[in-house]
Structure 1
C-alpha cells in the first residue's frame, strides 16, 4: 500500500475507535445496559501502531497532533468531527447518543461525556482546537452545547490531500529555482542551513534578512536553503500583508498552521517598501513578529526593527571571477573562453547567477554548445551572447525610462572632424575599459573616475541624440533617454531617489544613459541661502558621484554650456560641442536625409542647404515633404519642400526669408 492508502486506513481505524466509544456510551448510559462492555482501546492502539509502522512518514493526524500540540482528548474531538464527514452512518450514532433524532452534530458536551481523558481546557480559545481554527463552532447560548464542524481544509489534510490554503494561495506563490549559486553565495547558504539546524528543537528560529539589490539571486539562495532543509518555499509581497493589524495577525496564524503541518518556509519581499510609509511598515512588522518557522525577509535598504533575533546576510552578485566561471561552466567553453570573449562579456554585464543560468540555457542548445570550439560558429555565438545579455538587463530599466532603438550610424551623422574624432575616442574607451581598468589594474586605484562621462552641448536639432545613437550602434549597447526636467522633483530628496533607481537598474548592463535637459539640474550652483539650495547642490553632487562610478557611458545634453558650473565641467571626461551646421554641412545632411527608395523630382541640395536649419529640423522638413508628395502620388519636389519648410519655420516662430528659397520656383 502507498502512504495515501495507509493514511486513509489509519484515519478510518481511529474513526472506528470513536464509533465504538459512542456505541458503548449509548448502550451503557442511554439504554442503561449495565452489562455493556467498554471497548478495549489497547487492541485498537496496537493496530494503529502496526499501520503507522509500515508508513514512510507519519499519518497526517499524528503529524498534526505533534506539530500543533493536541492532547489525546483534543485529537479525538477532531476525529469525531471528521467522522461525521467520512462515515455516512455516523449521524445515526450521534442521534442515538443524544437520544434525539434531530441532534446529529457533535458538541463539546458530547465529547466531554463520551471521550476518554476529557479536560475542560480543550474548550479554551487559547488551546489548539480553537486557536488553530481546526474546528468551527456554531454558537449556541451555551458553548458546550454548540455544534462542532471540522474545518474543510483540515479535513482534506487528514485524508492526505495537501494544498495551500485558499486565503494564502491568493497572495503566495511557490518559489522554485534551479539556478546555479556562485561559491560565495553557496557559502552563505550553508551558513544559514547550519544556523537553522544547530538551534534547539523547541527554540524559535531567528528571522533571516537578505540585503542586497538582486532579488533573483536572493530567491535562489532561499530556494537552495529550503530544499536542503526539506521545506517548501513560498513567496509573498509585503504589499499583500493586510494594513489592518488584526487581519495581519489572523493571516500570520493561518500561515503558521500551514507551515507547521506542511513544512513550509516563507520568503517576504520587502524590496520595494518605502521606509517613510509608517502605517504599512508597522503592519508589516506586526505580521512578521507573529510568524514562526523559517522566515526570510528580502530587503534592499529597509531596516526592520523587529525586537526579536534577526540575522542579516548580504547576498551579493557573483564577483567578476565567479561570473566568468559560471559562463565557462554553462557554455562548455572551458579553455576556450577567449574565443567567445567571455572576459569582455563579464566586464560589460554584471549579471546575477540566476540571469547567467537562464541566459546560457537560452543560448546554448545542445547543437550550439557542441559548436563552442568551432571557429566558424564563434562569431555567431559572441553576438548572440551579447544580445541576450542586453535583453536580461533591460526589464528593470524599461520600467523607469525610455529606451531608444538606435538606427543612426557613422555614415548618417554630419559633424566637423574634431567632434567626430571625440565621439570615436569615447567609443574606444568604452570598448577598452576592461583591459585598462581590469587587466592593467586602474580599478584598484579606486572606483572614482572609472565611469566614462560625456557632455554634448549645442542647440536643439544639432545631432546630440543622433550621436548617442551612433555610439550605441557602434558599441552594441542599449540606449536610454532620461529627461532630467522630469526627474528633478520639488520635494527634498526625491530627485536623488529617482536618480538612484535609474543608476541601480542600469548598472547591470552598462547601458548608455542619455540625460537630456541637463540644465534642469546643472545650472550654476547657487550659494547656499536656504535648505532648498543646499539639497539642490547635494543632488548635483550625487549625480556626479554616480556618473563617476557608473560602469557604462553616461551622456548629458545641454543647450547652454556656458551656464554650467566649471567645477562640474572638470568632472566630465569628454565634452563635444555640436555646432549649428553651416551651408556645406547642411548640404551633406540633405544628401543623406532621404532613404534610397524615396522618389525625388529635381531636388537641388545646394538650394536646400540655404535653409538655415539644424539637422533635426531638416529631418522634419524632409519627412513632411514626403507625406505631401505621397498624397499627390508624385516624387518629392522643391514645391513640397517649400510647403514643409514654411510649416517648420512657423513652428519655430521664425521667418522664412526670400534669400533662403531664392530660385526655388
Structure 2
C-alpha cells in the first residue's frame, strides 16, 4: 500500500473515531439535561459511563487517533480531554450549540464553559482552569470576553481543531517555518563524528531530563542541517527550520510566538532547528529576542551559527562543523560524478578514463572549497550542458558550474568584473610579465604541490596566494588582475573599500569577515583596489581612533594568513603598507609608467580588430607620455568622434581626444608629444 493510501485510510479511521466520541459526548449531555429536568442533579453519569476515551466504541484504527496523540503529548487529564472534545463538538456539529444552551438553561449561552464542564463531567478539577494548566498554557482553547471565569465562552484553537480532525497544516503564526526531508545524504567522516557526539549527548540528556541546546558553528548552512537531520533520523524525529529573522521583537508578540512555537514542536513531534547564520551581531533587539526564545523554549533545540552565540543562560553545547577535507571532497565528487553518469545514461559527452578523471577532480578540489551539497548541485547543473551538441568536456562543465555555485555569497558584497582579456592585451616588461605567469602557475598547480607533494599536511595556514601590484594609476594593475582571472578561468571581484571601511567600532572587521567567508568557497580572485587605505601601517596609539585602526590592520593580517584563495592588492604607494603585510605576500611586482616602446605597443593593440582606422602612426602616438589607462580612454573617445563623423579613426580624432583628456587631468599638452601627428 502506498504512503498516500495509508494516510487516506488513517484519515477515514480518525474521522470514524472522532464521530463515535462525539456521539458518546452527545449522550452524556442529553443525559445531564434530562436529569436537570427531573431535578436529579446529584445523580450524574457515573465515571465508567462518562469516561474518555470511550471504552465501548467499536471503531478499529490502524494508527493512533489524532485526539489521543494530542492528549498524551500535552498530558491532559480525563476531565481536560472531555472539555476539549466539547469545544470540538460545537465546531463540527450544530446540535452541540443547542445542547449547551439547554444544559446551561439559558438560550443565548449556546457555547461550552468551564462551569458546564465542571457540572457535567466526572473527575472534574478546578486546576484545569489555571493559566499554567495545559489547556490554557498551550493555548489549546481560547477564552471569550467576560469577567467570570466559569461562564465565559470557550473556543478550540484553529490549529488544534485541524490537528484533531486530521488535516495537515501549520500554525498561521509560524508561517515561514520549513520542514526538512528525512532523506539525507550519507555524512562524510568528519561530519558523522559530530553527529555521533550529539546523539550520545542527547541519549544522556534524555535520561537525566536535562536538555542542553546544541549549537553547530560553521560557514556552510547545508552541512549543518545535514548533521541535524541525521541526528534526528537516528531518534526517528522530524526537523522544522526557523530563520531567526522570523522571531518577533515586541515582548508581547514574542511571548505568544514562543508558546505557539513550542506547542507546534510538541504537537508535530519535531526538533526545532533555529537558523542564526545571518544574524546581525550589532542588532541588540534581535539578539535579546533570540536569547529569550532559547531560554524559554523547551524540548530539543539545534542552533546553527557562523560564530558562537553569547549571553544565553541556558546550557548550550557547541560543536564546530569543519569544511570537508580535500580527501572528503574527492569522495563526494566521485560519488556525484557516478550519479551524473547514471542520469545521462550514455547521452552526450561524458567521462574520461579514471586516471584523467581523478586528476580533473583533484584540480577542482584544490581550487573550489565546496560543501557536499554544493558539489552535488554542481554536478546536477551540468546535465543540460553535457547533452548539448557542442558540449564542453566534463572538466570544463564542472569547473563552470563550480564558479556559479561559489558566486551567490559574494555577488551581494562586491563587484564581479567580467574579463575577456588575454596575455596579448597586456603590455609589460619581461620581468613583470614573468611574475604574473608565475602567479598563474601557482594557482594551477595547487593540487599537486599542496596535496600530492604534502605541503598542506603540516598546516593549512598560509596556503593562499596573495600578490601586491604597486605603481602609478593607469599602469595596468587592474588589467593584469583581469588577465589572470581569464587565464585561470576564475571570477574576479573588486572590493569597494568605501563600502567596507566604517567609522563605527567593529563594523570594518565585520564587513571584511563577510567578504572573506563568502570567498572561501574558491573560484574567485579578490581584488582590493587602493589597498593602502585599509592595509596601512599601524601607528603609535595616542587615542581610541588609533587603537581601532590598529585592530583593523591586525585582524586583516590574521585573515590574510588563513585565507586559502587568491587575493590581489593594488596600491599607488607601496611604502604606505604595513610591513607585516609584506611578509604575508607571496608576490610583489612594480608596475611602472611605460616607455616609448611599450606605449607604441599599447597603441597597436588598443583598437579592436573591427574598429576602422586610417593613417595611424604608432611611433608618433608613442611620443605621448601617458600611461596605458589614459591611452585607452583617449582611444575610446577618438572612436566616438570618428563614428559621429562617419569616418575611420584617424590621427586628427586622436589629437582632439588627447586634448580633452589632458584638459580633464589639468595637464599641458606639449608640442613635443604631438609633433608630426598631423
TM-score greater than 0.5 by the shorter chain = yes
For residue 543 of structure 1, report the CA deviation from its aligned partner.
Answer: 2.4
8 Å Cα contact 1:204/1:293 also seen in 2: no
Query: 1:547 maps to what in 2?
Result: 560
Query: 1:634 maps to what in 2?
Result: 647
CA distance, structure 2, for counterparts of residue 128 and residue 37 of structure 1: 26
Query: 2:271 maps to what in 1?
Result: 265
8 Å Cα contact 2:444/2:488 also seen in 1: yes
CA distance, structure 1, for counterparts of residue 201 and residue 220 of structure 2: 23
Query: 1:596 maps to what in 2?
Result: 609
2:197 is equivalent to residue 184 of structure 1: no
- From 148, 160, 174, the equivalent of 2:179 is 174
Query: 1:520 maps to what in 2?
Result: 533
CA distance, structure 2, for counterparts of residue 509 and residue 100 of structure 1: 75
SS at match of 1:480: strand
8 Å Cα contact 2:205/2:212 also seen in 1: no
Query: 2:30 maps to what in 1?
Result: 23
2:492 is equivalent to residue 479 of structure 1: yes
- From 357, 361, 373, the equivalent of 2:376 is 357
Residue deviations 1:457-502 (CA, integer Å, cap 9, x gap)? 1111111011111111111111111234543333344333322222
Gap change, CA 1:279 and 1:511, over 3 Å in 2:
same
8 Å Cα contact 1:514/1:554 also seen in 2: yes
Query: 1:373 maps to what in 2?
Result: none
CA distance, structure 2, for counterparts of residue 465 and residue 287 of structure 1: 49
CA distance, structure 2, for counterparts of residue 72 and residue 630 of structure 1: 91
Residue deviations 1:301-337 (CA, integer Å, cap 9, x gap)? 2333433332222211211111101111111279825
8 Å Cα contact 1:590/1:618 also seen in 2: yes
Gap change, CA 1:200 and 1:572, over 3 Å in 2:
closer
What pairs with 1:147-296 in structure 2 (closer than 5 Å)?
A: 147-169=153-175, 171-176=176-181, 178-197=184-203, 199-200=205-206, 203=209, 205-296=211-302
Structure 1 segments unaligned to the other structure (5+ residues): 370-375
Moved more, 132-141 or 94-103: 94-103
8 Å Cα contact 2:74/2:134 also seen in 1: yes
Structure 2 segments unaligned to the other structure (5+ residues): 1-7, 339-350
What pairs with 1:378-389 in structure 2 (closer than 5 Å)?
A: 380-389=393-402
CA distance, structure 1, for counterparts of residue 562 and residue 152 of structure 2: 69
8 Å Cα contact 1:112/1:118 also seen in 2: yes
What pairs with 1:66-81 in structure 2 (closer than 5 Å)?
A: 66-81=72-87
Query: 2:121 maps to what in 1?
Result: 115
8 Å Cα contact 2:416/2:494 also seen in 1: yes
Query: 1:106 maps to what in 2?
Result: 112
Gap change, CA 1:70 and 1:445, over 3 Å in 2:
closer
SS at match of 1:664: coil
Query: 1:315 maps to what in 2?
Result: 321
Moved more, 297-306 or 551-560: 297-306
Gap change, CA 1:444 and 1:184, over 3 Å in 2:
closer
8 Å Cα contact 2:47/2:123 also seen in 1: no
For residue 102 of structure 1, report the CA deviation from its aligned partner.
Answer: 2.7
Gap change, CA 1:445 and 1:25, over 3 Å in 2:
closer
Query: 2:11 maps to what in 1?
Result: 4
For residue 59 of structure 1, report the CA deviation from its aligned partner.
Answer: 0.9
Moved more, 137-146 or 267-276: 267-276
For residue 572 of structure 1, report the CA deviation from its aligned partner.
Answer: 2.4
For residue 150 of structure 1, report the CA deviation from its aligned partner.
Answer: 1.5
For residue 191 of structure 1, report the CA deviation from its aligned partner.
Answer: 3.3
Query: 1:372 maps to what in 2?
Result: none
Query: 1:339 maps to what in 2?
Result: 357
CA distance, structure 2, for counterparts of residue 361 and residue 48 of structure 1: 56
For residue 360 of structure 1, report the CA deviation from its aligned partner.
Answer: 1.9
2:604 is equivalent to residue 585 of structure 1: no
SS at match of 1:144: coil
- From 640, 648, 656, the equivalent of 2:661 is 648
8 Å Cα contact 2:100/2:112 also seen in 1: yes
CA distance, structure 2, for counterparts of residue 494 and residue 435 of structure 1: 38
What TM-score do you get using the length of structure 2 for normalisation? 0.90
8 Å Cα contact 1:78/1:135 also seen in 2: yes
For residue 248 of structure 1, report the CA deviation from its aligned partner.
Answer: 1.9
CA distance, structure 1, for counterparts of residue 369 and residue 462 of structure 2: 19
Query: 2:587 maps to what in 1?
Result: 574
8 Å Cα contact 2:217/2:321 also seen in 1: yes
CA distance, structure 2, for counterparts of residue 351 and residue 115 of structure 1: 62
